[in-house]
């Protein structure tokens, strides 16, 4: 399963690992309690297994995103900055990594600590609606991923604020994790 650990909160490049020394690992069961789901499906021949999960979970649409200077052109810097601003969505954020690597940071509750999840090819990660999170490339500077969604693609990031703290999807998330 994918490696997860507490983010060290030290200033510096967001693309650096930011792993404590010694590392403070977070295991899959802790992520599961936060309703963060993950699978590993080898990229070679991934289609049938990803299709099966998509069918079970009602992910009817998908597209591919290429986060790299070459893949994004003029909007690259703005996108990178936006991905790393703490936010939530009113829908799940579902990503299957095709190539490259990066970090999803998710807020633990109630500590409000950042947990960093390192994703690599074959990782399928589902962040629940309402969880506060952000994304960054790592030092390899490129990732390609499938983005799956239940209905129409909707990418609205809601920056964390007093309003999102009482958003019905946020409150629903907190209730769901108890």
The binding site for Ni(2+) comprises 87, 89, 93, 133
Q: Which residues of 57-71 are buried (b: 16+ CB within 10 A; e: fewer)?
A: eebeeeeeeebbeee
Q: Judged by CB under 6 A, which stretch of 6-14, 23-31, 47-55, 141-149 contacts ligand KMT?
A: 141-149
Question: Does 83 participate in binding ligand KMT (rule CB under 6 A)?
Answer: yes
The phi and psi torsions of 77 (rounded to 5 degrees) equal -60, -45
Among 135, 138, 164, 170, binds ligand KMT (CB under 6 A): 135
Q: Given phi > 0 = left and psi -120 to 50 = alpha, else beta, which region is 97?
A: beta
Annotated binding site: 87, 89, 93, 133
CB of 57 to Ni ion, least distance (A): 18
Per-residue tokens: 32: 């599961």
Residues in the chain: 178
**Total binding residues for ligand KMT by CB under 6 A?**
10
Q: Judged by CB under 6 A, which stretch of 4-12, 25-33, 143-151, 158-166 contacts ligand KMT?
A: 143-151
């Amino acid at each position: 399963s994918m490696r997860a650990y507490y983010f060290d909160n030290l200033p510096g490049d967001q693309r650096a690992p930011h792993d404590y020394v010694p590392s403070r690992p977070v295991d899959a069961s802790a992520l599961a309690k936060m309703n963060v789901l993950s699978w590993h499906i080898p990229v070679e021949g991934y289609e049938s297994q990803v299709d099966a999960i998509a069918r079970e979970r009602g992910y009817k649409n998908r597209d591919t995103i290429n986060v790299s200077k070459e893949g994004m052109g003029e909007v690259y810097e703005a996108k990178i900055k936006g991905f790393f601003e703490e936010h939530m969505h009113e829908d799940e954020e579902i990503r299957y990594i095709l190539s490259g690597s990066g970090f999803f940071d998710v807020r633990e509750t109630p500590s409000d600590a950042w947990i960093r999840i390192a994703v690599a090819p074959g990782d399928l990660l589902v962040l629940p609606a309402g969880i506060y999170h952000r994304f960054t490339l790592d030092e390899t500077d490129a990732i390609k991923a499938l983005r799956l969604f239940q209905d129409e693609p909707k990418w609205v990031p809601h920056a964390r604020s007093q309003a999102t703290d009482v958003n019905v999807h946020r409150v629903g998330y907190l209730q769901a994790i108890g």
